Amino acid sequence: MKFVLIIDDEGSIRESLGGILGDEGYGVSSEGNGEAGLKSFRESPPNAVLLDVWLPDTDGVNILREMVKMDKKIPVIMISGHSDIDTAIQTIRIGAYDFIEKPLSLDRIVITVENAVKYNSVSEKKTILAGTLSGGFELIGESDGIKALKEKILKVASSTAPVLITGENGTGKEMIARAIHSNSIKRSEEPFIAINCAAIPDELIESEIFGHERGAFTGANGRKRGKFELADGGTILLDEIGDMSLRMQSKILRVLQENRFQRVGGETDVDVDVRVVAATNKDLESEIASGRFRSDLFYRLNVIPFFIPPLRERRHDIPLLIDYFINIFGDNVNRLRIDGDAVDIMKSYDWRGNVRELKNIIERFSILNSNNKITKEDVLSELKIEPLADKHNAEIVNDRGYMKINSFKQAKEDFERAFLSYKLKENDNNITKTAITLGMSRRNLQKRMDCLNINQ
């Protein structure tokens, strides 16, 4: 519901304006003097204001100046019983939306308020859109998994059905959500709002998602619109929804079922048209079995599931991603170059942070590398990989090295030796910790080390 604040010292005018605007579906609050009106404006910002020029305690022009300082996006319509062209020009220059003379035409009031509220909504939407634009990164890759993702995005973008995106941290879940939004004919010009459910304390998240009314809790000095309301007409991403409390899960379920909610401390429903995209790095079915996630919410969200494979499962995409990020972060004059050996090492690396980690590495090289060239030694140092002392073992770290070995048994032993040596170094040569990482017993790991002549 849109709210209009009326500030006029004549009770009959406040009553008639409030009645006609109420009939048009607006919420109305009114004050009889400037200071009270300014206080209401500050504590519960309206969508539009009707402000009389002549007030008993102060000049309406001064009140207008204060309102413009507080929030120039809220349209203020000046009303006056005195035909003073200079005052009208002055108020418009200060920032008034319009100037209407008394006696008031109720039809003109309704039309002007309607246009002012639309102006406010468009202005606010532009601000939201400017603040939520994508960083410009694309879905790069030619692997089967990435091709399937691209095709699926185009198929589901026009739908309004909820989407659930799963995948490890850094795989690009928010990027998939933005791609779905930007390819939607209906919603692409509307806001995309993302909220990280894991980053907000439980006692604050309801206010962040649904907003609150003045006085809902200590410090709630005015009405605040939540993320769902700001995303109206567009898309909301509930990132890391697996970390959301059961209490909040039930409230999200209601929005999905009814397309409405109440602000914290509110009594009236707020209707919204929002496409919900949820993302998580957790196995929600396991969370359901453990009692930490609602099964009914899972099935509501999982209408269109997306799974983003980790980077280690699509290694052939790594050179494409490297080139892409070099172009993004590099200097067009002195373009950053990378040696083939360096690319091979990066292809063999596990990338626990996935694409995000790779992006950060290339960005770091583009800033700190003074030679405009990424070498094998640069990559080994940056990724904290110690080169294997034995040349033969060094050859088998990448895929092509195995092709030089004619004995299957030898290839298997060489790989196992290199792999276990790497994992031991990764865990500071702690055998127990390494065994836990590899999912095997300490005794069996020690046996394999003895067989392969691996010394700590």
Rounded to whole angstroms, what are the CA distances from 45 to 27, 134, 179, 240, 351? 12, 29, 34, 31, 48
DSSP state of 59: B
User: What does the pLDDT read at residue 126?
Assistant: 53
CA 229 – CA 172 distance, rounded (Å): 25
User: What does the pLDDT read at residue 9?
Assistant: 92
Kindly tell me the sign of the dihedral angle through the C-alpha atoms of 339, 340, 345, 351.
Answer: positive
CA 128 – CA 125 distance, rounded (Å): 5
Kindly tell me the sign of the dihedral angle through the C-alpha atoms of 307, 311, 315, 319.
Answer: positive
User: What does the pLDDT read at residue 386?
Assistant: 66
CA 335 – CA 6 distance, rounded (Å): 61
DSSP state of 320: H
Residue type, 405: I
CB atoms within 10 A of CB 188: 14
Q: Which of 235, 208, 212, 225 is nearest to 129 (CA)?
A: 235
CB atoms within 10 A of CB 29: 16
3-state secondary structure of 51: strand
CA 293 – CA 245 distance, rounded (Å): 8
User: What does the pLDDT read at residue 122?
Assistant: 63
User: What does the pLDDT read at residue 133?
Assistant: 45
CB atoms within 10 A of CB 316: 12
Residue pLDDT tens, the chain, 456 long: 788 999 999 999 999 999 999 999 899 999 999 999 999 998 888 999 999 998 998 889 999 999 999 988 899 999 988 767 888 888 988 999 999 988 888 889 999 999 888 877 665 655 555 444 444 567 899 998 899 999 999 999 989 999 999 999 999 999 999 999 989 988 988 899 999 999 998 889 999 999 998 888 887 877 888 999 999 999 999 999 999 999 999 999 999 999 999 999 988 889 999 999 999 999 999 999 999 999 999 999 999 999 999 999 999 999 999 999 998 887 666 778 999 999 999 998 989 999 999 999 999 998 888 788 899 999 998 988 765 544 444 444 444 455 555 667 777 777 888 888 888 888 888 888 888 888 888 888 888 888 888 876
Query: What secondary structure does DSSP assign to 209-278, as a single string?
Result: HHEE-TTSSTT--S-EE-HHHHTTTSEEEEETGGGS-HHHHHHHHHHHHHSEE--BT--S-EE---EEEE
Please give the model's pTM, rounded to 2 decimal places.
0.64
DSSP state of 171: S
Domains of the chain: 3-131 (3.40.50.2300), 144-307 (3.40.50.300), 314-376 (1.10.8.60), 386-456 (1.10.10.60)
Run of H or E including 304: strand 304-307
Question: What SS3 string covers 124-159?
Answer: HHHHHHHHCCCCCCCCCCCCHHHHHHHHHHHHHCCC
CB atoms within 10 A of CB 189: 12
Cβ-contact 284, 328 below 8 angstroms: no
Nearest 5°: the CA angle 352, 369, 378 is 50
Run of H or E including 48: strand 48-52
User: What does the pLDDT read at residue 404?
Assistant: 55
DSSP β-ladder status, 211-212 and 224-225? antiparallel
